[in-house]
Structure 1
């Protein structure tokens, strides 16, 4: 299985594009914060970090996949699907080297009583850490038969569970997409390289 291709960007253009990107992202995420628009986004050729104090998910599966950049470079990825997710104190960061030094985007949400919420969440990740609890887990099932709407290729190793809870989530990802991403208490900042962890 291949993730949708990640779009390309040249590092030298980041500094020039930072203002338009911020405006576009603010408009899009403003709508997302109201639960008004579907979301599908990926970071081109760069991994980004996602952190949360706690993730609570219902309907979970995971199997192997590939994230393909616009230049054709393929990156092995673990594909995780969560049908309904709540993320408490969510943080997402991406940093690029530019002629002006490091430039980053730092997004936070779900910092108050209401968590950030995602429906049909799919993540292509290279690293994950935290303390996890799975309910009714199955390990070693065929990826084409996992108990989520999105499935992997026949014959591939996979796992699934009715639910997943992760405390102290730290994740390095190539892509994240969701049918709807509701970002309560949204904050987006341009930084000099600050990351979630």
Structure 2
């Protein structure tokens, strides 16, 4: 944005305000090397929305955890989340959006990211973890176990590295060999993955509120 600076401060102020939005989206575009970087980061003060036509994941596990961070005023926050983990997954027609309100001069600014729009080239992820606050979808689970312990040694996908202190290893969890979610609409605080391959990636900024759903 430095090449577009006019009047000295407008774009600079805009960039400062947009940092949380970009940080919230960064987990989608950055690959975390497996085991090299634990996901013990502080979440941004903004949740984001994700929609998809279909998510197909393997070695599914879901358990309760907490997402710690700060709101846009710098105050500490603690958000309960349902963590969904997969050893590998494909996502068809994925959309991610985050809205930053009250940007000086512009008002609300929305960041929209789309990928995997071609069903033959979906988004591909490994060691995927989603910190979900709300989820709506049609779900099909294959070989499911409900009521297992989150830290059971037989869970193919383990508790997310770096977050073990936020999770009761004896707490309620469920697991399945395969999970297929259709018509996905979710609100999340964080997404991390060992690798995240985004085919047909498109990222846009919009004035006003423009969300995936």
**Please, what TM-score do these two structures have when normalized by structure 2?**
0.74
Q: What secondary structure does 2:67 align onto?
A: strand
Write the mapping of 1:1-197 to structure 2, written as runs, cut at 5 A: 15-17=14-16, 18=18, 29=29, 37-38=31-32, 44-70=44-70, 71-98=75-102, 99=104, 100-112=106-118, 113-145=120-152, 146-150=155-159, 152-192=167-207, 193-197=209-213
| Aligned CA distance change for structure 1 residues 90 and 165 (closer, same or farther; 3 Å) | same
Structure 1 position 132, deviation (Å): 0.4
* Alpha-carbon distance in structure 1 between the residues aligned to 2:42 and 2:129: 11
Question: Measured at CA, do residues 42 and 172 of structure 1 come closer, stay the same or move farther in structure 2, by a change above 3 Å?
Answer: farther
Unmatched segments (≥5 aa) in structure 2: 1-11, 34-38, 161-166
Which secondary structure state, in structure 1, belongs to the residue aligned with residue 151 of structure 2?
A: helix
Could you tell me how far 1:104 is from its partner in structure 2?
1.3
How many Å apart are 1:150 and its aligned residue? 2.7
Residues of 2 paired with 1:196 and 1:42: CA distance?
A: 24
For the residue of structure 2 that corresponds to 1:16, the secondary structure is helix
Output the TM-score relative to the length of structure 1: 0.80
Distance, in Å, in 1 between the alignment partners of 2:170 and 2:202 is 42
Rg larger in 1 or in 2? 2
Aligned residue pairs total 175
8 Å CA contact 2:42–2:67 kept in 1: the answer is: no
Please tell me whether the aligned partners of residues 88 and 127 of structure 2 are also in contact (alpha carbons under 8 angstroms): yes
Q: Structure 1: 5+ residue runs without aligned partners?
A: 1-12
Larger mean Cα displacement after TM superposition, 138-147 or 85-94: 138-147
Contact 1:67 1:124 in 2 (8 A): yes
In structure 1, how many angstroms separate the alpha carbons of the residues matched to 2:115 and 2:134?
22
Spell out, residue by residue over 1:94-122, the C-alpha distance to the aligned partner (whole angstroms, 9 max, x if none).
00102321111100000112000111000
The 10-residue stretch of structure 1 (65-74 or 171-180) with the greater mean CA deviation from structure 2: 65-74
